[in-house]
Amino acid sequence: MADGWAQVREDRRFVRGQGRYVADIEPPGTTHVGLVASPHAHATITSVDASEALALDGVLCVLTGPELAAETEPLRQYLDLPEVRWRPLADGVTRYAGEWVAAVVATSRAVAEDAAELVDVEYEPLQAVMDPERALEPDAAPVHPAHGTNELVRREFVWGDVDDDFEAADGSVSLRVRWNRNSTVPLETFGVVAAWDRGRDVLDVWASIQMPQFPEQIAGSLGIPLNHVRVHFDVDVGGSYGVKRGIKHAVLAGFLARRVGRPVKLIEDRAENMHGGDFHGPDRIFDVELAHTADGVVTSMRLDVIDDEGAYPGRSPLQLAKPIGSIVGPYTIPSVAYTATAVSTNKTGQVAVRGFGQSPTNYAIESAMDALARELGIDRFELRRRNLIPPDRFPYRIPSGTSYDSGDYQAVLDKAAGLADLPELTARRDHLRQSGLLAGIGVATCLEPGGGNAIFENVMNPANDKTTFPEACRLRIDGTGCVTVVIALSSAGQGHETLVATLAAQELGVNAANVAVARASSLAGLPSQSPVGSRMAIMLGAAVRGAADELKARLVAIGAHQLGVDRTAARYEDGAVVAESGERMEWGELVAIAHRKHHLLPDDLEPGLEAVHVAQVPGGGTLTKPDGTVQMYPTFSFEAHVVLARIDPAIGQVHLDEYAIAHDCGTVINEDVVRGMVLGGVAHGVGVALYERFAFDDGGQPQTLSFVDYLLPSIHEVPQVQTTEHCTPSPLTSRGQKGVGEAGYMGAPAAVASAVNDALAPAGVAIRHVPIGPSDVWTALRATHGVTA
Amino acid sequence: MSAPLKVELVVNDRAVSAEVQGRTSLADFLRDQLGLTGTRLGCEHGVCGACTVLLDGEPARSCIMLAAQADGLSVTTIEAVGGPGGELTEVQQAFCDTHAVQCGYCTSGMVLATEALLERTPDPTEAEIEEALGGNICRCTGYGQIREAVRLAAARTAGGDPEPAEILEVVQRG
């Protein structure tokens, strides 16, 4: 391979079609699950008759919600909501269209689906509540009557003298923006294979999973000890971006595997994935208000958000807390009031989505910054420069108590403007306008918090006092001198094998090509919180560093002993131990002594060269303080987007002509992986801005059941994106790295919306929601004078 | 259930004779009956392109085609791309060299669609690349590195040995 080309080891199996996804795993005797889904958004289930299904040749069992509920615990939720019970199958009441009501197990998938169609379910429809603001009204139909209200949680925070700052301001702008319901919608649906080993009393689980505490939640719901659940992490995950949290799928499959005594495979079909899997993302209404000086310096902010969780909140309301850790974005806003309300409606349940609530919040803040610029007649780039945190003020403490580690936001914005050639881009925009089209330039500057400690659980629910989110690796130098790193997580395209091999090679001074990476199961493995929250470069960096330091110290002890010098007089250098005199002991000799020559080992050393290091989140973790201040994330990556959008006023269709992004995630460990994350995140954000929405009618019927209705951007819709990297290393991580898994997506929706609204500015209108479809543009233009549409 | 149908086709240059149910899709036949699991199922309604195989050399969606419809035809799956000893084709190598891959789930279809494109259009324009890959959704990469992979494979197939800077989108580092 020529120098300069990518070195990502995972790619070589995927280009051969040799990825091993959960659908490819089929233990002998595997049976298959077919699902019965509710056609009603809200209904009482009056009867389930499975007799015809059970009579079908090949059907092994039909399971209903009440049967499952009698023998399992509800799925875990992170708020204290004892009356909101989330289960794999609806128990007596169905709360959204598409919710699973019964499950069939059969000897083939086709028979399971045939049988599911024969299960006769009778319903008595109930009133559905679909609008989150309507759901909060006292007379709204409750989704969970025993809970008493559709308000699941409401948290109010005030950091600083917000009222005084608004009083003293020269002016203020306020606006409402709507982030409509979308999700990451990976190409691979969620799947799980579960097998109960009666002889060993172990539940084996293979799943397309990206989920913290997945084994714990399976064990908890099924009521079996955690050390009897073995989740296999050597499964390739076909995309996730946050959502592959199929705990209800795994509990259902695990239960069925025990019941039928055979392996059970549950692979969602696309419609099940899009509406039955509880994999929707944030669905938010923001009211934003900025207080400002006459020259556009923002002096305070009020941010009020309502998040429509759908029927079952699970972990999703925690996504209202993460933005607290960067509540002022990259700006010097000195005081903030933040109110977050989570609401239940009769929609599919929500789950974590790329950025864990950060991208919608960035969209709200950036929309407000653009509105302020327009109000004051200040250039949007200039307005941001007046408000960006200057590089000499890091570490920078924001009003909500979080310290930003490092950054040079001005320099990155300048790079983005330079990469896009802003003067030339502006000339192109103006030329397009003169030719009769609408055209606009968009800008967004925003942060990507990385490597968090999960204290958002404590922020939203003080009873949850978790303050850490550790990650571990096992580093081994075997008796032949080969290096292996063992991790205990599955990956969905982030290149973790390449990451870990590179980190281990850097720490040990050996060739990365010779470092193997293996994945342990949850029983054989190590503490892991899974690859969420842009954390693996940070956390595995720390874990590998810790383990490597331990092994290097042992090698130095062995080398110094042989060379007859004090340990402090020898050092480790690229696989050898070197004394101050220059005398050396090479890798092979050191390894041989460690593994096989006890007589040459120093007295205080055990044989072998293996170390496990459990890494704590950099900066540690403490509970939220009584004044609501908190540090959830240690590192803050930054990105600046510049976009040129062109709109044909006759049809309202938006086309992105140019896209440039400047990005700073500190030290880059693998350029190709980082660039891929940035480009992929931008594409995902373009989808959110222009195409992707889970829509429902007023009665709760989903309107987007396939890729024909829910539009994923193709190569035609995603522009060729120019990228540039800037590097302000983090002082908190092993090599200065920060998170990158959510890059691009953090700012793309805001930037594209900014471009559309710049295009609409001459017409005097703005669109305050995403996605922005042709009909939205057309409607906005039609409302104006002098524009025919 | 109706009686199985007998089909005879060529799969990856080998004659295959099999009995299939009338309702069995080509994708399920390849994956479940022949064990060729490199073909992926994404949407199962003909939109995403993950299940792309070559049918007499042309890309086709195996999820919305019945196995019975492939009777008498020649099917190429990802397992037949590359040499018997694991050698990569120019297209596969280019996908690795540009890191045009993340989760890998669309990759089988992307590689096959690209092989077909370069077979008929060795030096494609950007518009031809977009047309050829427009039916293959990738949720990870944003298509940038995939575009580069196609260009790199085309250049190498034509005998060139381009440097990364000649292929990659503008990337500045500082």
B37 at A interface, C-beta within 8 A: yes
- Cβ-count burial of A612 within 10 angstroms (0-12 exposed, 13-18 middle, 19+ buried)? middle
In angstroms, the CA A232 to CA A490 distance is 8
Cβ-defined contact of A188 to B105 (cutoff 8 Å): yes
Q: Say what the pLDDT of residue A378 is.
A: 98
Nearest to B137 among A187, A720, A744 (CB): A187
Helices then strands, counting H and E runs in chain B, come out as 6, 6
Fold of A11-126+190-267: Aldehyde Oxidoreductase; domain 3 (3.90.1170)
pLDDT band at A3 (very low <50, low <70, confident <90, very high): confident
Nearest to B78 among A17, A241, A672 (CB): A17
Bigger pLDDT: A1 vs A580:
A580
B23 → chain A, closest CA residue: A110
Interface confidence (ipTM) of the complex: 0.97
Question: Does the structure show a pLDDT above 60 at A360?
Answer: yes
Nearest to A239 among B82, B103, B171 (CB): B103
Q: How far apart are the first and last CA of chain B?
A: 65
Rounded to a whole number, what is the largest CA-CA distance in chain B?
67
Q: Chain-wide mean pLDDT for chain B? A: 95
Q: Is the dihedral of CA A243, A678, A548, A543 positive or negative?
A: negative
CB within 8 Å of chain A, chain B residues 41-70: 41-45, 47-48, 50
Domain ranges within chain A, ordered by starting residue: 11-126+190-267, 284-389+398-454+625-782, 471-615
- Looking at the domain covering A284-389+398-454+625-782, what would its CATH class be? alpha beta
What values do phi and psi take at A301, rounded to 5? -145, 140
Work out the average pLDDT over A193-222: 96
Q: Compute the half-sphere exposure of residue B33: CA atoms within 13 Å on the CB side of its CA.
A: 16
CB within 8 Å of chain B, chain A residues 493-512: 493-495
**C-beta atoms surrounding A26 within 10 Å:** 17
In angstroms, the CA A760 to CA A110 distance is 51
Contacts of A452 (CB under 8 A, 6+ apart): A322, A325, A469, A533, A535, A617, A632, A633, A634
One-letter amino acid identity for A187?
A: L
Q: Compute the half-sphere exposure of residue A595: CA atoms within 13 Å on the CB side of its CA.
A: 15
Give bridge partners of residue A192 from the DSSP assignment.
Answer: A207, A266
Determine the angle formed by the axes of helices A748-760 and A774-782, rounding to 10 degrees: 30
Cβ-defined contact of A187 to B48 (cutoff 8 Å): yes
What six digits make up the tokens of A784?
């104006």
Residues in chain A within 8 Å Cβ distance of B88: 12, 15-16
Residues in chain B within 8 Å Cβ distance of A1: 97
Q: Strand, coil or helix: what is A103?
A: strand
Contacts of A667 (CB under 8 A, 6+ apart): A727, A729, A730, A733, A735, A736, A737
Q: Please tell me the pTM assigned to this model.
A: 0.97
Residues in chain B within 8 Å Cβ distance of A513: none
CATH superfamily entry for domain B5-80: Beta-grasp domain (3.10.20.30)
Q: Say what the pLDDT of residue A787 is.
A: 47
CB within 8 Å of chain B, chain A residues 110-139: 110
A13 at B interface, C-beta within 8 A: yes
In angstroms, the CA B1 to CA A777 distance is 51
Short-list A664, A665, A654, CA closest to A688: A654
Q: Say what the pLDDT of residue A788 is.
A: 47
Residues in chain A within 8 Å Cβ distance of B101: 8, 10-11, 14-15, 493
Question: Does the structure show a pLDDT above 70 at A786?
Answer: no
Cis? peptide before A749, omega within 30° of 0:
no
Nearest to A8 among B82, B99, B170 (CB): B99
Report DSSP letters for A630-660, one per residue.
----SEEEEEEEEEEEEEETTTTEEEEEEEE
Best of B101, B106, B111, B125 to mutate (most A CBs within 10 Å, chain A): B101
Q: Strand, coil or helix: what is A275?
A: helix
A238 at B interface, C-beta within 8 A: yes
In angstroms, the CA A262 to CA A108 distance is 13
- Cβ-count burial of A152 within 10 angstroms (0-12 exposed, 13-18 middle, 19+ buried)? buried
Residues in chain B within 8 Å Cβ distance of A718: 142-144
In angstroms, the CA B114 to CA B117 distance is 5
Q: Say what the pLDDT of residue A84 is.
A: 96
Report DSSP letters for A140-183, one per residue.
SPPSSGGG-SSEEEEEEEEES-HHHHHHHSSEEEEEEEEE----
B87 at A interface, C-beta within 8 A: no
Cβ-defined contact of A11 to B146 (cutoff 8 Å): no
**Distance to chain B for A23, nearest Cα, Å:** 9
Question: Does the structure show a pLDDT above 50 at B174?
Answer: no
A17 → chain B, closest CA residue: B38
Fold of A471-615: Aldehyde Oxidoreductase; domain 4 (3.30.365)
A705 at B interface, C-beta within 8 A: no
**Interior/surface letters A471-496, b for 16+ CB within 10 angstroms, e for the rest:** bbbbbbbeeebebbbbbbbbbbbbbb
Cβ-defined contact of A679 to B142 (cutoff 8 Å): yes
Residues in chain A within 8 Å Cβ distance of B100: 11
pLDDT band at A785 (very low <50, low <70, confident <90, very high): low
Best of B20, B40, B53, B99 to mutate (most A CBs within 10 Å, chain A): B99
Q: Say what the pLDDT of residue A620 is.
A: 85
Cβ-defined contact of A1 to B147 (cutoff 8 Å): no
A186 → chain B, closest CA residue: B139
What six digits make up the tokens of A171?
């002016």
| Integer-rounded Cα radius of gyration of chain B | 17
* Cβ atoms A510, A684 nearer than 8 A: no
The DSSP bridge pattern shows strands B5-11 and B14-20 to be antiparallel
Residues in chain B within 8 Å Cβ distance of A715: 129-130, 133-134, 136, 138, 143, 146-147
Nearest to A17 among B41, B108, B140 (CB): B108
* Cβ atoms B89, B78 nearer than 8 A: no
In angstroms, the CA B37 to CA B32 distance is 8
CATH superfamily entry for domain B90-165: [2Fe-2S]-binding domain (1.10.150.120)
B87 → chain A, closest CA residue: A16
Residues in chain A within 8 Å Cβ distance of B104: 10-11, 13-14, 19, 236, 238, 493
Q: What are the pLDDT digits (tens) for A88-119?
A: 999 999 999 999 999 999 999 999 999 999 99
Question: Does the structure show a pLDDT above 80 at A422?
Answer: yes
A57 → chain B, closest CA residue: B1
Dihedral Cα A425, A426, A430, A436, nearest 10 deg? 50
Work out the average pLDDT over B112-132: 97
pLDDT band at A784 (very low <50, low <70, confident <90, very high): confident
What six digits make up the tokens of A180?
């409509």
Q: What are the pLDDT digits (tens) for A709-725?
A: 999 999 999 999 999 99
Best of B79, B126, B143 to mutate (most A CBs within 10 Å, chain A): B143
A28 at B interface, C-beta within 8 A: no
pLDDT band at B173 (very low <50, low <70, confident <90, very high): very low
Residues in chain A within 8 Å Cβ distance of B115: none
Domain ranges within chain B, ordered by starting residue: 5-80, 90-165
Cβ-defined contact of B42 to A187 (cutoff 8 Å): yes
Q: Is the dihedral of CA A248, A250, A255, A257 positive or negative?
A: positive
In angstroms, the CA B130 to CA B134 distance is 5
Work out the average pLDDT over A442-454: 96
Cβ-defined contact of A15 to B88 (cutoff 8 Å): yes
Give one word for A100, left, alpha or beta, with left for phi > 0 and alpha for psi -120 to 50: beta
- Is A284-389+398-454+625-782's fold the same as A471-615's? yes
* Cβ atoms A409, A396 nearer than 8 A: no
